[in-house]
Structure formats: structure tokens, C-alpha cells
Amino acid sequence: MGILRIGHASLRVMDMEQALRHYEHVLGMKRVMEDADGHVYLKCWDEWDRYSVILTPADRAGMNHVAYKVERDADLDELQGRIEAYGIATRMLPEGTLPATGRMLAFALPSGHEMRLYAHKECVGTDVGSLNPDPWPDGLRGAGAHWLDHCLLMCEFNPETGVNTVADNARFMAEVLDFYLTEQIMVGPDGAIQAGAFMSRTNTPHDIAFVGGPSSGLHHISFFLDSWHDVLKAADIMAKNRTRIDVAPTRHGITRGETIYFFDPSGNRNETFAGLGYLAQRDRPVITWSEDKLWSGIFYHTGEAVPSFTEVYT
């Protein structure tokens, strides 16, 4: 019972033509459909469900919602009861609210971000199929991203006033949605304030993460690549396409991932990353990063602050 994995992210973009050029030719996603309202749906080659990214025409960038897939349709009813008992209002959206998708349970996290849960989305298969598949398909474009892997959400955080929606989200995700904490950033007197929380439902170091900031928003959505070499190649592709790079290829201390951060044309931050990092398990001790080693946790090689990384988000 419960949540299996991330399902999709719905993003606002200000120029659809430029956005599609980015997600198709830089990341290597495939456009699968467009609805009557101009929303465009895309998937990566190694994903089997119909889509994992929705692009919505808008006058500002940011995230509409992030969705996670649950195991069974009946889980939605059970989770609705648990979420409402926690004190958070929910809406059950009917099948077909999004194309090729069953009913969805929608609610706002304590940080204000909209999350949706669903059980059914049309399975179309990966680009290599499931019978005697090749390791990768011919005709890959751009970075050849395998799948949408996780998202990091910025959460309103002001220790002086006692506002800490990072900790509020982490508590809700653990107590109600059965995520578990893998790593955390602790700051303030005696390191008692949780300023970052990395949480999982699978065996990867994070399926979702929360970090504190002046206001809530989207920090990034992340796409999986095979190796460090693929991260470097992705950087080459971004340079060739004049993609705005935020942080050049490096390694995280947190999660140990190999990474590059960059922006789509509207300013939504993306990441391509490689490496499992470590095998996450519920009984594995939580890794804690102290305030004095915060930037080593974020960028292990230099341990130096990159102001745009925490100050710029949508």
C-alpha cells in the first residue's frame, strides 16, 4: 500500500516553443500529446507511463503541482482519510482531469505546494520495450535523460519568527505518507533547527527534498543519467545549445550524486544527475549536515557558496 514513486511534474513556461526545444533537444524528452488548452505532455525514453512532465503556457515560471503514483486505487481513499485527519483539506479530482490518468487526490503541503496522488496512468512502455530489450534506443537526442527522478521544493523558513515549513513538510510526509528521512541539514543554536530534509519512499537517497528559503517555490526537477561521463556530455550539449548553466558538473556531499544544474528558457531549474549514491533503507541511520559544513554538503568538491543556488528559484 502507498506511494510508489514520483509520477510527473507540471511546470509553467512562458514560451512554449522555446520550452519544447529545451526539453526535447537538450534533455532528450519526447513529446507525446497536447491537449485543447495548449498543455504539452512529455516523457523520457526509459519511462513506461504515458508522460512525466507537463508544460503549461503561462505568464510566469514555476510549478503547478507534483504528482506521485500510489500502488492501488483504493490507497487514494485511505490516504485521503489520513491527510484530512491530519488537518489538511483534500480534493478528489475525477478520472480524465489529466489525460490518460485516473482520479487524483489533490492537496497542499504545509509549505503550500500542491501535491497530487494517483494510481492509474496509461502504460505505453519504454522505447526499448520489455521483451529482450537493448540497453538504450537508437536516435537518442540531447542528454538522453532516462527518467524524471525527484524534485526539490523551497519552503518558507524564518527561524526568527518560528516559521519552518521544511520541518512541517518532513513531519507530514513521514507521519501521513510514510516517507522516511535519509539526510537532513541542521542549523541554528545547538544545530536544533531542520533547514533541509531529503526523503524517500524507495531505496534511492531522495524521492523528494525540502530546503528552507524566504518563500515557497520550485528549486528544481531532476532527471537521471547513467554515469559521470553522461553528466559531462550533458554539459557539452547545454553549452552547444547556449543553455543557461547554474552550476557546472560536480558532486554533492548530500546524496553523493554527480550533478549539473541549469535552467529552462523560462527560468525553471533542472538537474541531470548520476549515481545511486548509496542504498537507502528505512533502518539506515539518518545523515546529518551541520551548518558549518552546509556548502560541502551541497557542493562537495569546493565547499564554497554559490549564491544563485539558494537565492534563485521559481
Which residues are tagged catalytic? 150, 206, 220, 252, 261, 271
Cell triple for residue 236? 557539452
| Angle at the Cα of 219 from the Cα atoms of 256 and 43, rounded to 5 degrees | 85
Tell me how far apart the 2 most distant CA atoms of the chain are, in Å: 58
CB atoms within 10 A of CB 250: 17
CB atoms within 10 A of CB 90: 17
Residue at 216: amino acid letter? S
Cell triple for residue 120? 492509474
* Calpha distance 197→195 (Å, rounded): 7
Phi, psi angle pair for 293, to nearest 5°: -115, 20
